[in-house]
């Protein structure tokens, strides 16, 4: 069964420094996608970055990059040059290509427990 | 602008009453989802629908019901059978999921339900 683990309940980072948020996953499907979302205190879920299981290069989106280590089943989010507005909860999520009952429909998106990031001025 | 609308933002109900949370999208997405979030926790899948008139139970479907009569709408009913209904509920949608595991979910702004 698919599983996502975020082991850091809370993290602090100094403004303008880089921070890495950890995410490990478990799946038996060779085809899957990994996502990171940001949730500010307002509650909305903001999609940040995506990495596919067959992607050869690590995904990057502006100040966000994904350190994808397939053999270790990890997909850590790196935020460079942290800003005060980066303070939020961050979720790692995964979706398999096939549902658990083997149909051709894509599996559901499951989330980790989240990491709360606080950026210090 | 296209997006997902959840209403209301805050909802208060007495214990024993059913309550329906609204979710409407104008993104022309086939798939829609309902997640529940408890304070400081991750999102747990309640129900999802990949096509009109069809839906599947997620991980915590007990005490909830849904319908998908129109592509744009996926209302969630929290029934009196749900033992601990107070939570933050998020609706999401994505383009047709078949073989498109790279499509992200787009979320509404959520409904905060309090049952006393």
pLDDT for the residue numbered A103? 55
Distance CA A8, CA B43 (A): 16
In whole angstroms, give the CA distance from residue B39 to residue A94. 21
Query: SS3 for A70?
Result: coil
The rounded mean pLDDT for chain B is 92
Q: How many Å apart are CA B56 and CA B32, to the nearest integer? A: 11
How does residue A85 score in pLDDT terms, banded at 50, 70 and 90? very high
Answer for the pair B42, B27: CB distance below 8 angstroms, yes or no: no
Task: Tell me what pLDDT residue B21 has.
Answer: 96
Cα dihedral sign, A5-B108-A77-A56: positive
- Residues A4-10 have a mean pLDDT of 95
Contact B104 A50 (CB under 8 A): yes
Choose among A50, A106, A108: nearest Cβ to B58: A108
Q: DSSP per residue over A85-119, as a string? A: GG-EEEEEEEEESS-TT--SSPPPEEE---EEEEE
Work out the average pLDDT over A89-94: 96
Q: Smallest Cα–Cα separation from A2: which of A66, A106, A113, A96?
A: A96
Residue range A48-56: mean pLDDT, rounded: 94
Can you list the residues of chain B whose pLDDT is less than 70? 1, 96-99
Asked whether the beta carbons of residue B41 and residue A43 sit closer than 8 angstroms, the reply is no
Give the closest of B58, B88, B105 to A43, CB-based. B88
Mean pLDDT for all residues in chain A = 92
Question: What is the helix (H) or strand (E) element at residue B56, kind and residue range?
Answer: strand B54-57
pLDDT of residue B86: 96
- How far apart are the C-alpha atoms of B67 and B73, rounded to whole Å? 8
Q: So what's the pLDDT on residue A108?
A: 79
Contact state of B42 with A47 under an 8 Å Cβ cutoff: no
Q: Tell me which H or E stretch contains B50.
A: strand B43-51
Report whether pLDDT(A104) > 80: no
pLDDT on residue B99: 55
């Amino acid at each position: 069964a698919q599983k996502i683990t975020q082991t850091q309940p809370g993290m602090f980072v100094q403004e303008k420094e880089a921070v890495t948020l950890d995410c490990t996953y478990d799946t038996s499907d060779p085809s899957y996608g990994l996502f990171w979302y940001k949730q500010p205190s307002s509650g909305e879920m903001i999609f940040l970055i995506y990495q596919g299981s067959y992607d050869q290069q690590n995904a990057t989106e502006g100040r966000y990059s994904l350190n994808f280590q397939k053999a270790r089943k990890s997909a850590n989010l790196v935020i460079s040059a942290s800003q005060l507005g980066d303070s939020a909860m961050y979720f790692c999520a995964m979706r398999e290509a096939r549902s658990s009952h083997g149909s051709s429909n894509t599996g559901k998106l499951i989330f980790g427990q989240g990491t709360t990031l606080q950026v210090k001025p | 602008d296209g997006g997902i609308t959840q209403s209301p933002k805050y909802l208060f109900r007495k214990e024993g009453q059913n309550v329906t949370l609204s979710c409407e999208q104008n993104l022309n997405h086939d798939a829609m989802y309902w997640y529940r979030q408890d304070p400081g926790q991750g999102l747990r899948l309640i129900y999802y629908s990949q096509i009109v008139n069809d839906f599947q139970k997620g991980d915590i479907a007990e005490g909830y019901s849904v319908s998908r009569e129109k592509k744009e709408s996926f209302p969630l009913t929290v029934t009196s059978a749900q033992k601990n209904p107070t939570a933050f509920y998020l609706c999401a949608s994505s383009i047709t999921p078949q073989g498109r595991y790279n499509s992200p979910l787009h979320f509404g702004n959520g409904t905060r339900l309090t049952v006393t």
